[in-house]
Amino acid sequence: MKDYYEILGVPHNASQEEIKKAFHKLAHKYHPHKGGDEKKFKEINEAYQVLSNKEKRAQYDKFGRVFENGGGQEQGQDFDFSWAWGNGGQNVNMDFDFEDLGDIGDIFSDFFGHNTRSQKTKKDLRKGKDIQIEIEVSLEEVLTGTTKRIILTKMIPCSRCNGSGAEPNTLIKECFSCRGTGQVQQIKKTFFGSFTTLTICPECNGDGYKPEKPCIVCKGEGRVKGEEEINISIPRGIDTNQVIKIEGKGEAGRRGGKPGNLFIKILVKEHEIFERKGDDLYMKLPITFSQAALGDEVEILTLDKKKILLKIPAGSESGKILKISGKGIPHFSGFGKGSLYIELIVKIPKNLTKEQKETIKKLKELGL
C-alpha cells in the first residue's frame, strides 16, 4: 500500500497549505517536460488528489485506501485523466491555483478548461510601457508649488514613418500567418495528449498586420530611442511619496499604439531649520535665561522668508511650545494651511565672565 504522506514528503498531521506547497514543489521537479519522471509525477498527483480532499483524506487515514461515491471501488494506483475528463472532472479535487504551477498550470488549465490567463488585445500589445521616476523638491517649493523641467530618454514615435512602422508611401498589409487576428493556434503535446491553444502570432507580434516595407529607421517598430523635454507641475502642499501621473508621457507605443503613462514620485528634501509633520512645521528657538524668566518679543523668519514678531511669555521653561496658526504647509486640498510650532530652548551659558558670575551669585542669594 502506498503511503501518500511519504510520497509528498509531509507528516501525517500536515495542514492543507503544507500539502499544497509540497505538491507544487514536487510537480515542478518531476514534470516530464522538464526532464522529470512521468510515473513519479502521476504518483505525486494521485497522492495530492487524496490528501487535498477532506473526505478522501479521512477515508485514507482510517482505512488506508479511498472508496469512490461510498461504494466498494478502491481508487486506482494511477490517476485516470481520461476518466476525469469524460466525467466532467467529478471526484477530482480542483481546489488549487493553476497559475501558481507555472508551466504545469498551463497544461492543467488547458486540460480541464480553466483559462486563468487573460488574452491581451491588439491594442494592449502595442501599448507603450509606463515610466516611473523620482523628483526631489525643497520644502520652500512645497510651500508655493513649482514647475520642474526634465529631459526623459525613452522610446518616442519615429519621425520618418510617423509611428506607423512602414516606409513612407508603402502599404500596411494583413499578416499572412494569423489572417489579421493577431493570434495563431499552437499544439501542445503532453503525456495527457495533444491540446490546441491560441497564442500571440510571432510573425506580427499580435498586431494582425505588417508593413509591406518596414521603415528603415525604426525597423518597423514605429518608435525609436530619443529624448523628450517635459514640464512637470508640482502642486503646493505635496508630500513625500505622493505620486503625480501624467497620461501619455511614458514610452511610445509600437506602430501607433497608445503611449504609456509617466509616474513621478515626489521626495521632499530635509530642511536645516524646519521639520514637517503632516502640514505642520516645527522649529527650535534658542532663548536666553533672562528671556525665559522675564519674557520678550523676538523676530523670527518663517519658511516663506517673512519676518514675524514672536512673544515669549515670562516664566517660559525649556521645551515650551508656542503655536502660530496658518504658517505651516498649505493643505493639499487647496484650502487652509497647517500651523508653525516653535519649541523654546533655554540656553545655559558655559563660559561666563566675572561680571556675569557675580550677577548670577546675587540672583542665587535672592532665591533665583
DSSP secondary structure code for residue 14 in this structure: -
Which cell is 286 given?
534658542
Fold of 4-112: Helix Hairpins (1.10.287)
Q: At what angle do helices 16-30 and 38-51 cross, to 10 degrees?
A: 170
Give the integer Cα–Cα distance in Å for 3 and 15: 17
Element of type H or E holding 280 = strand 280-287
Identity of the amino acid at 16: Q
pLDDT at 364: 77
User: Which pLDDT tens digits describe the chain residue by residue (368 residues)?
Assistant: 678 999 999 999 999 989 988 888 888 788 765 667 878 888 888 888 889 888 888 888 877 776 554 444 444 433 333 323 333 333 334 344 444 444 445 444 444 444 434 445 555 778 999 999 999 999 999 999 999 999 999 999 999 999 989 999 888 888 888 888 888 887 777 666 677 778 888 888 888 888 889 999 999 999 999 999 999 999 999 999 999 999 999 999 998 889 999 999 999 999 999 999 999 999 999 999 889 989 999 999 999 999 999 999 999 999 999 999 999 999 987 788 999 999 999 998 888 788 888 887 887 777 76
- Residue from 349, 140, 126 nearest 236 by CA: 140
pLDDT at 78: 39
Element of type H or E holding 208 = none
Q: At what angle do helices 38-51 and 54-63 cross, to 10 degrees?
A: 100
C-alpha distance from residue 82 to each of 90, 191, 193, 237 (Å): 12, 12, 10, 64
pLDDT at 335: 82
pLDDT at 27: 80
Residue 64: other Cβ atoms inside 10 A: 11
Give the integer Cα–Cα distance in Å for 200 and 183: 5
Give me the DSSP letters along 122-135.
HHHHHPPPPEEEEE
Answer whether 32's CB lies under 8 Å from 191's CB: yes
- Residue from 247, 252, 263 nearest 228 by CA: 252
Identity of the amino acid at 10: V
Identity of the amino acid at 314: A
Give the integer Cα–Cα distance in Å for 292 and 314: 6
Give the Cα-Cα-Cα angle 351, 353, 355 (nearest 5 degrees): 150
Which cell is 116 given?
486563468
How do the domains of the chain map onto residue ranges? 4-112, 275-365
Give the integer Cα–Cα distance in Å for 79 and 27: 14
pLDDT at 64: 72
Fold of 275-365: HSP40/DNAj peptide-binding domain (2.60.260)
- Residue from 331, 330, 291 nearest 310 by CA: 291
Bridge partners (DSSP) of residue 262 are 131, 246
